[in-house]
Structure 1
């Protein structure tokens, strides 16, 4: 069986950046094939009162510097994720966001306003439909619905139903209401755009150990996803998603260190100890999360194909403090910290690719407190460090993890997995055929700061490639040296 590295026209190793203020290729990272916007262009920031829309829709369509023009300049697809409702739309006070459906969600035979002037909506939800219609008219550069859906005309092609709806900080209403909004969105998007895709999601698989505790009443991210899809399907003539999404975080992010991608065990915190019974606080390792999502699809084959693409639209170790060892003589994070973060990023990228996850978006490349891949040398007192004023300053340029991403991208791009990644005696190994067509093996030790050797295959390998970008020759039949950071063994210098 072949396990492809390139899926959905965008390789997983080339689809990694979220919330970047600065375009990643400026700093030496590969140019992303797909990127997700989710900051500065939320609904409450765009439609400040009913019918009053920002001319540029926040920073989506700002000439030259907005998400859309910059993405198009770099030949990058854009995901728009819906997230937050204006307080005015829910009847709540204040100019900020709300976490509930608009107040007309249950109206009957409601008369809509601009840009749906005079339209009667039998099932209400006009406030939301007006917003989606205005967005699609801007997106497709039209002033009314086309006679048939447009192809090759609209700018944004991927629309994700809601950000982490299983967490109450993003959604605190029923899944029936959210499903109705998702379906209305899908109908309008598809009316305007014939080559757009709808993403059903996203549920967060990690966080504070509850896997999300939103309106489903479930502590499990996959159950919340299934209940959302069921509510969507119950709508007559439902316009169902093309893709489903989740967020691949460690099963708990308020332990230290966070569990690495192939385990739900923290090496330093008893709340995620190996023999904790029951270990409800740390349920699903990242490597197991795609399978949980596919099990959701398998149980719903009457209305969604089990082969529906699964995307990870946000992932990482989250706060930099979650993977931290100490500081060096200059006050920067020390070398071991850098290696731990390299190991996490590389192992997650490899494992999710091997699990056939079509897109893997990193959180977040140039944030100075969370998953940092690009440093700017900001002092601890700067606004950019306000979420983590006690963290070490990050020197300008690519961090060790950023450099590791470049290396892993080079390993995986254009290649194929020749089988599943497997663990034996604490060592993980993934057989691949490289982009050059040669045989290869990626391997690492599961435990942090550990080393081991594994037996080579018949004929051995000629070279070992490290995440530091170094290549070391190997002797014939030499045992293969592995450490916590993945190493690629192959026959190409």
Structure 2
């Protein structure tokens, strides 16, 4: 849901669908991160600007509002309606892409400042996420946004850590490091960093075992790199993605969907104390949960023998599909999919 969906004309609003989403979020205790993005054509300073971000590609969405008062009224109306129910707001989507934002960085800083002021006025405890660029080519936008003081108006730095369709999850790490370096450069390193959208886009699906491997490895690698949240794109996506989490009914879990659930099980309640790789491509992440230590391991090349240290006191291995096997001897074979050694 975006501005163009919600305010169909200056005096015409449509809230039915977002009301449903918000009620579902309350029922399931699943907080919404709401993007405030995409100018309706009637309010756009560039009503003919092209876009590729919505079904049917209506023009004008990427243009800055021609009147700041329209933007302020939109933010105030939505924030007031959903006060206490939506408490996390992201200012715009992928503003480094001309199809998503055809204004200047200064324009975006202005929108962020005004939205932040209004949102905090209505709900002082809400959290505001910065405009989230995407991919390596989004770094210049973030650099300019932070250099112009945009970081002072947000509580969280948002980014879409997409990597190339042929890149493994480990390619996320250097991109995350570059974003963290920019945060340090402009004095916002103390703010949380969220990956508010990422996945693997492309016309052809990865093999099922690799789909499961990629989603689990991506979550552990983001965690180890200091990313506080990671929003996967997307649970029910069946078009233009290399990784599907559900079947065509949007309910039956694929191997990747089961891997997501298992990864959630491993991560929830745990503290990540260490995550490192060796020269042969083996990754080891150490988890501490209620005094018990376990290890998540994988190898980027697959089929590698790993000697289990005596100090691990490990007796079993849990796979991403939920299966568990006992450890015989002092070594296991590690593949591309993460496994939990306990």
1:455 to 307, 310, 313: 307
Q: Give the Cα–Cα distance (whole angstroms) in 1 for the partners of residues 147 and 82 of structure 2.
A: 29
Structure whose residues are more often helix by fraction: 2
Match of 1:126 in 2: 69
- 1:420 is paired with a residue whose SS is strand
Q: Give the Cα–Cα distance (whole angstroms) in 1 for the partners of residues 285 and 256 of structure 2.
A: 20
1:372 to 220, 231, 244: 244
- 1:298 is paired with a residue whose SS is helix
Q: Does 1:89 find its partner at 2:43?
A: yes
Match of 2:175 in 1: 289
Q: Does 1:417 find its partner at 2:269?
A: no
Match of 2:140 in 1: 223
Do the aligned partners of residues 320 and 366 (structure 1) sit closer, same or farther apart at CA in structure 2, a change above 3 Å counting? farther
Q: Does 1:426 find its partner at 2:298?
A: no
Q: Give the Cα–Cα distance (whole angstroms) in 1 for the partners of residues 44 and 131 of structure 2.
A: 22
- 1:472 is paired with a residue whose SS is strand
Q: Give the Cα–Cα distance (whole angstroms) in 2 for the partners of residues 465 and 239 of structure 1.
A: 44
User: Once the 2 structures are TM-superposed, how far is the Cα of residue 185 of structure 1 from its aligned partner?
Assistant: 0.5
User: Once the 2 structures are TM-superposed, how far is the Cα of residue 454 of structure 1 from its aligned partner?
Assistant: 1.6
Gaps of 5+ in 1: 1-40, 105-124, 141-153, 206-210, 212-219, 263-284, 325-336, 378-393
Alpha-carbon contact 2:36-2:75 (below 8 Å) kept: no
1:181-192 equivalence runs, <5 A: 181-192=111-122
Q: Give the Cα–Cα distance (whole angstroms) in 2 for the partners of residues 171 and 231 of structure 1.
A: 17
User: Once the 2 structures are TM-superposed, how far is the Cα of residue 227 of structure 1 from its aligned partner?
Assistant: 0.9
Match of 1:159 in 2: 89
TM-score, with structure 2 as normaliser: 0.90
Q: Deviations over 1:389-422 (max 9, x none)?
A: xxxxx9x610000011111111121112222332
Q: Does 1:138 find its partner at 2:101?
A: no
- 1:418 is paired with a residue whose SS is strand
Alpha-carbon contact 2:275-2:283 (below 8 Å) kept: no
Match of 2:9 in 1: 49
User: Once the 2 structures are TM-superposed, how far is the Cα of residue 297 of structure 1 from its aligned partner?
Assistant: 1.1
1:243 to 136, 156, 160: 156
2:255 to 395, 400, 410: 400
User: Once the 2 structures are TM-superposed, how far is the Cα of residue 96 of structure 1 from its aligned partner?
Assistant: 4.9
Q: Give the Cα–Cα distance (whole angstroms) in 1 for the partners of residues 292 and 95 of structure 2.
A: 43
User: Once the 2 structures are TM-superposed, how far is the Cα of residue 230 of structure 1 from its aligned partner?
Assistant: 2.3
Do the aligned partners of residues 452 and 239 (structure 1) sit closer, same or farther apart at CA in structure 2, a change above 3 Å counting? closer
Q: Deviations over 1:101-132 (max 9, x none)?
A: 1123xxxxxxxxxxxxxxxxxxxx11211111
Alpha-carbon contact 2:48-2:60 (below 8 Å) kept: no
2:328 to 453, 475, 486: 475
Match of 2:53 in 1: none
Runs of 4+ in 1 over 3 A off after TM superposition: 93-97
TM-score, with structure 1 as normaliser: 0.64
- 1:375 is paired with a residue whose SS is coil
Q: Give the Cα–Cα distance (whole angstroms) in 2 for the partners of residues 436 and 320 of structure 1.
A: 43
User: Once the 2 structures are TM-superposed, how far is the Cα of residue 44 of structure 1 from its aligned partner?
Assistant: 1.2
Q: Give the Cα–Cα distance (whole angstroms) in 2 for the partners of residues 136 and 483 of structure 1.
A: 47
Q: Give the Cα–Cα distance (whole angstroms) in 1 for the partners of residues 292 and 123 of structure 2.
A: 42
Q: Does 1:444 find its partner at 2:298?
A: yes
Q: Does 1:313 find its partner at 2:196?
A: yes
Q: Give the Cα–Cα distance (whole angstroms) in 2 for the partners of residues 481 and 406 of structure 1.
A: 23
Q: Deviations over 1:228-269 (max 9, x none)?
A: 122344xxxx9510000111212x23xxxx21111xxxxxxx
Name which one, 1 or 2, has greater alpha-carbon Rg. 1
1:70 to 17, 24, 41: 24
Alpha-carbon contact 1:351-1:421 (below 8 Å) kept: no
Match of 1:180 in 2: 110
Match of 1:354 in 2: 224
1:322-337 equivalence runs, <5 A: 323-324=205-206, 337=207
User: Once the 2 structures are TM-superposed, how far is the Cα of residue 224 of structure 1 from its aligned partner?
Assistant: 1.6
Do the aligned partners of residues 412 and 136 (structure 1) sit closer, same or farther apart at CA in structure 2, a change above 3 Å counting? closer
Match of 1:327 in 2: none
Gaps of 5+ in 2: 50-57
How many residues matched?
A: 330
Structure number with greater CO (CA < 8 Å, separation at least 6) is: 1
Q: Over the residues paired in the alignment, what is the CA RMSD in angstroms? A: 2.0
